[in-house]
Structure 1
């Protein structure tokens, strides 16, 4: 196999378009084996390149990303709208956080060491199938047009528009990396949902606190609703949360992040032809009811890499049909107001064993476990929604701007 190059007559095994979590994870697994030539097409600096992102997930024991994990937590906490806190220990699972810049540095170093593989800083303008593979038309930062060819292309770029859906909410947020004068945070406890904030008329809102040290944390204000806020509105909500709820006193903001994650029951296509596959959020890796993405990206990239090493090309569904069906019911129930969002999510953490609940949120529980969880939710409104869904039309809606974080 020849080395990937700019010469159209030459061909490499795999081109990965996009250097986010999905692209980096797949590139890492393909180059770790060393048997495939890989080109990762990563957007150069500028308006098209997203800012540094925070990715969170839970994992059992030691993990492959441990060397770039920024922080991790052994206990999780949820504050109900009534002010009561529920703290759980999900062991053997542990909640982990990493920054996109650290993962990028690790994967790029691996690509540099792998013969025949590389990172190409360019804008991917188009991706097309060919008779014997696929090609990617690119533009370099200097403005030079290039055409790359490969046997298979895995495209993680955001879709220009979301597929038609019966329900589409957005998880939109802004976060501050804060630093306080004294130790106010417990580095072993992450606040996943803090509903002690004013609730919007439609949807739900919560705080999210990830301690990085006794005096440092990522503090976010998040909403599940139909329309994002302005930056000024997020800032006001964060100010109220840090002042009146967390009572942080004087602090400084070292950095900020903001973004939107689609929460939709749309059906995401995983192929754009015989040799072009969609991966990551563009391929449906975002869990519709929670916005979590990173863990599903790992499952998907692992399966793709294993199949390619056996001479096959696939992009398996990130979630099973049961998980997607349950998410469709929950999204519709939230959107119609048939269930109270803060009470629903707080109830899950108060009534369900934490390790089982996290596996449920990842889509890896058994049908029997899911039946038991379902009985601990508001059964009547959920059943009414489940009966209604098959009669609803899927409608096209505009896509949100890309999210800055994958959970």
Structure 2
């Protein structure tokens, strides 16, 4: 029996989660006849396993898939509840099932070949990439690989926190939610000794909503800890859990770190999603950057260019995030105080565009001026010293 020769394709998408699904749908919009595409993932994603929330202008390719959207959101601290008008932006919710379904349709339209295997090594020789399974067998050879599997950063960061959460999809037999506005951040929750906690509410209707408890902190909670956080937050909202039905439970953990991620670990391997730097270190938001990068990849392929997206966020924003993380980690600035001043002293659209990496340098200066200056200045100095020490160690 002869040695099996692996198939050859132009582009392999490794990982079929959110980032991979967005890339496939973006590629399908361009048509791309003759492009040989493979999708490599042991799991065929379908159904509701994730909920993404993001902001942007109405319209666009995601519009038919949205579960809900809001032009007004609430940011609440123990002192004040602010209802913010996001115009011209809006906050939107996308659940995973319609995105996975559209990605499956895109695979068919693109004529992609599916490989239901777990990927091990990606051997890049500079001219093509051999995709191997976890036993080391060659699965295929690709001109380029887009890899959205979770990967650790290139080296540890100075601050390594997590955004971790649990959400309950709650259903009521009577109207209890306000579908006209979402709760973006509610800081009335008890604050941990080291970290930030808040709740939020994404209502689909007056009887159905996602209610979530979130922490920004260095360590995860126990199952009982998340449930206690949710029960306490439901009480703050005045919800009678005995009269509500928990239809679904969502859990998640997202890195919040100033550690560098390798967007391009070898000449022909490009990382997407969190592994490709799409997660905003100061908030954990990822979806908008994934969507943006998917469009850039597809446009590059359609134009005959390498499928390499731009960095998800400007360098100055990554630096500002590192400073904020350092200030929270040291206890110099409290998270509720930081976000309270940010939303109090800036238009909501400016804050949200900053979190999306879309503000100008002048707007960034205005945002910096609205932060607690003295402790943030100390954090800046500490960040600079940390960067200098890291450079000296690497030498």
Q: Same fold (TM over 0.5)?
A: yes
SS of residue in 2 equivalent to 1:392? helix
Which of 87, 100, 105 aligns to 2:101? It is 105
What is aligned with 1:40? Answer: 39
SS of residue in 2 equivalent to 1:11? strand
Which of 135, 155, 159 aligns to 1:163? It is 155
What is aligned with 1:4? Answer: none
Match runs of 1:50-69 below 5 Å: 52-69=49-66
Is 2:208 the counterpart of 1:212?
no
Distance 1:245 1:63, change over 3 A: same
Is 2:242 the counterpart of 1:242?
no
What is aligned with 2:327? Answer: 333
Distance 1:333 1:98, change over 3 A: same
C-alpha separation in 1, matches of 2:336 and 2:154: 27
Moved more, 147-156 or 247-256: 247-256
Is 2:341 the counterpart of 1:364?
no
Distance 1:301 1:45, change over 3 A: closer
Which of 164, 175, 187 aligns to 1:183? It is 175
Q: Would you say the 8 A contact 1:31–1:38 is kept in 2?
A: no
Distance 1:373 1:34, change over 3 A: same
What is aligned with 2:88? Answer: 92
Which of 117, 120, 130 aligns to 1:135? It is 130
Unmatched runs of 5 consecutive residues or more in structure 1:
1-6, 397-407
Unmatched runs of 5 consecutive residues or more in structure 2:
391-395
C-alpha separation in 1, matches of 2:154 and 2:54: 24
Q: Would you say the 8 A contact 1:167–1:332 is kept in 2?
A: yes
C-alpha separation in 2, matches of 1:361 and 1:74: 17
What is aligned with 1:401? Answer: none
Distance 1:245 1:32, change over 3 A: closer
Query: 1:318-371: per-residue Cα shift (whole Å, max 9, x none)?
Result: 111011010000000011111111121122222211111110111110011111
Query: 1:66-113: per-residue Cα shift (whole Å, max 9, x none)?
Result: 11111111111011022x210011111111111122101011112112
Q: Would you say the 8 A contact 2:277–2:311 is kept in 1?
A: yes
Displacement of 1:42 after TM fit? Answer: 2.5
SS of residue in 2 equivalent to 1:176? strand
Which of 66, 71, 74 aligns to 1:74? It is 71
C-alpha separation in 2, matches of 1:370 and 1:246: 37
Q: Would you say the 8 A contact 1:155–1:279 is kept in 2?
A: yes
Moved more, 221-230 or 387-396: 387-396
Q: Would you say the 8 A contact 1:74–1:91 is kept in 2?
A: yes
What is aligned with 1:17? Answer: 14
Displacement of 1:245 after TM fit? Answer: 3.6
SS of residue in 2 equivalent to 1:295? helix
C-alpha separation in 2, matches of 1:168 and 1:63: 35
Q: Would you say the 8 A contact 1:164–1:395 is kept in 2?
A: no
SS of residue in 1 equivalent to 2:139? strand
Displacement of 1:393 after TM fit? Answer: 6.0
Is 2:282 the counterpart of 1:295?
no
SS of residue in 1 equivalent to 2:52? strand
Distance 1:393 1:355, change over 3 A: closer
Distance 1:131 1:198, change over 3 A: closer
CA RMSD of aligned residues (A): 2.3
Q: Would you say the 8 A contact 2:153–2:260 is kept in 1?
A: no
Which of 339, 348, 361 aligns to 2:342? It is 348
How many residue pairs get aligned? The number is 383
C-alpha separation in 1, matches of 2:48 and 2:389: 31
Pick 1 or 2: higher relative contact order, CA cutoff 8 A, min separation 6. 1
